[in-house]
Structure 1
Amino acid sequence: MAIILNIETATKNCSVSIAKEGKTLLCKEIATENFSHAEKLHVFIGTILEETQYNFNDIHAIAVSQGPGSYTGLRIGVSSAKGLCYALGVPLIAIDTLALLAKQITIEEGIIIPMIDARRMEVYTAFYDKNYNRIRATEAEIIDTNSYNTVAETLHLVGDGALKFKAILTKSNFVFHDDIVYPSANEMSSLSYEKYKKSDFVDVAYFEPFYLKDFVLNK
């Protein structure tokens, strides 16, 4: 039996879940314009353990969303996850944030394009097939009216970055799923369990978030 605590803080959504054998038992999350991760993350962890009647000693691994995404959000989530791993002596599992966002949709044909807002006219994005295999590399991409003009397949767009460009991506093969805005720890459960079964862990001491772009301080 594997009990895994999942932490997702790569976007405005501060999200925590606890899962047993890959099934979410409870998820707590909140998305606010002013990032609430520092205030809410450990409160959610404590609440989830209390409500599910587990304690820290019951946890077999910690999973964290590795990015790309918000520099501050990723730093908070990864720091907290690493601290818990050190304290509990359990392994750390890293989950790709775009794969996590793509996992929220089920399609029968076409391509899933998760998009995380990277400010201005840019998004963090990748392509996934219907089985959630990544078929185009993750990149920070500037979006304009000509984006993906050469792709004939149906393109399923999810995430806050997709919503941002809905007005300019108007080709008939674009399908926007407006209800899927942020990655969530709820979908981390199955992904983290699959990695746990394979002992696909990262080094707690040396693991760093996948920022994709250098941090720039806005003045």
Structure 2
Amino acid sequence: MLLLSIDTSIRGCSVAVHQDSSLLASYDLHTDRSSSSMLTTLMESAVKHAGFTLNDLDAIAVAKGPGSYTGLRVGVSSAKGLCYALDKPMIAINTLEAMALQLNAFYPEHLLCPMIDARRMEVYAAVFDATNNFVQSTQAVILDDNSFQELLADNKVVFFGDGAAKCQKLLSDHPNAIFLKKDIRPSAVTIGELAAKAFQNDHFEDVATFEPYYLKDFMSPPSRKASSLA
């Protein structure tokens, strides 16, 4: 089983190639924006570095969200294009679930709360246990002084991701709240690890109808002219 995995949930893009559960190649490009041309170059390079061609792939996996509206659209569109061109199945993985997988081996007695920055005091978040099962489902959370208080009363919770800084301003004094100094970004590597399991269970998407998991409707920022008249 040869998988190409794609993650464009936030700034930049990440790709990885797995054979069964073994990582063969991965590339990350950290830029302010994702583009289909950047992603195409990374995908071709990763597959070539792994010693294969695109035709050798058994499936394409993609981070379905939540995350950046534009980023998710680029990633899913690219994955769909490959699936159509190569006649391969598509696997979609929750971005936050893949983020939690990066850390669960290091915090076996903690809950994990990956966060992706949204607007103002809002984040996309979910909570996982050490076996990567959902404790709280994926949701858009508007942070305030009461956020996560019930979980923190009985559990140590690790907050991470580019949305965690907002939460740290509110919860940094709580003894059960842990904030990582290291920047944990979404990664195609853990997308691929979860996708390998999904492949074995035949968890494939309908390529024609699949849409990214935006979690909420896209809202374009107001124009300068509109802002000046408000």
TM-score strictly above 0.5: yes
Alignment of 1:57-206 (within 5 A): 57-106=55-104, 107-151=107-151, 152=153, 153-170=155-172, 171-206=174-209
For residues 36 and 138 of structure 1, the distance between their equivalents in structure 2, rounded to whole angstroms, comes to 23
Shift of residue 174, structure 1, vs aligned partner: 0.6
Q: Between Structure 1 and Structure 2, whose CA radius of gyration is higher? A: 2
Q: Distance in 2 between matches of 1:189 and 1:105?
A: 15
What is the aligned residue count? 217
1:52 maps to what in 2? 50
The superposition leaves residues 106-145 of structure 1 with CA deviations (integer Å, 9 ceiling, x where unpaired) of 2111211110001210000111111000121211001123
| 1:12-67 deviation line (CA, Å, top 9, x unaligned) | 141001111022111101222x2133342011011112222210111000000000
Secondary structure of the corresponding residue to residue 219 of structure 2: coil
Moved over 2 A (4+): 36-39
Please state how far the C-alpha of 1:180 moved relative to its aligned partner. 3.8
Residues in 2 aligned to 1:148 and 1:164: alpha-carbon distance in whole angstroms? 13
TM-fit CA distance, 1:4: 0.2
Aligned to 2:226: none
Alpha-carbon separation, structure 2, partners of 1:187 and 1:208: 21
Go from structure 1 to structure 2 and tell me whether the alpha carbon gap of 1:41 and 1:87 turns closer, same or farther (over 3 Å shift).
same
Q: Which is helix-richer, 1 or 2? A: 2
Conserved? CA contact 1:144–1:169, under 8 Å: no
Structure 1 unpaired stretches of 5+: none
Q: Whole-Å Cα distance in 2 between the matches of residues 63 and 36 of structure 1? A: 17
| Percentage identity across paired residues of the two chains | 42
Contact persistence 1:15–1:29 (CA under 8 A) = yes
Given that 1:102 and 1:158 are in contact with CA atoms closer than 8 Å, whether structure 2 keeps it comes out as no
Secondary structure of 1:165's counterpart equals: helix
Q: Distance in 1 between matches of 2:58 and 2:114?
A: 30
Question: Which deviates further from its counterpart, 49-58 or 91-100?
Answer: 49-58
RMSD: 1.2
* TM-score of the pair, normalised by structure 1: 0.95
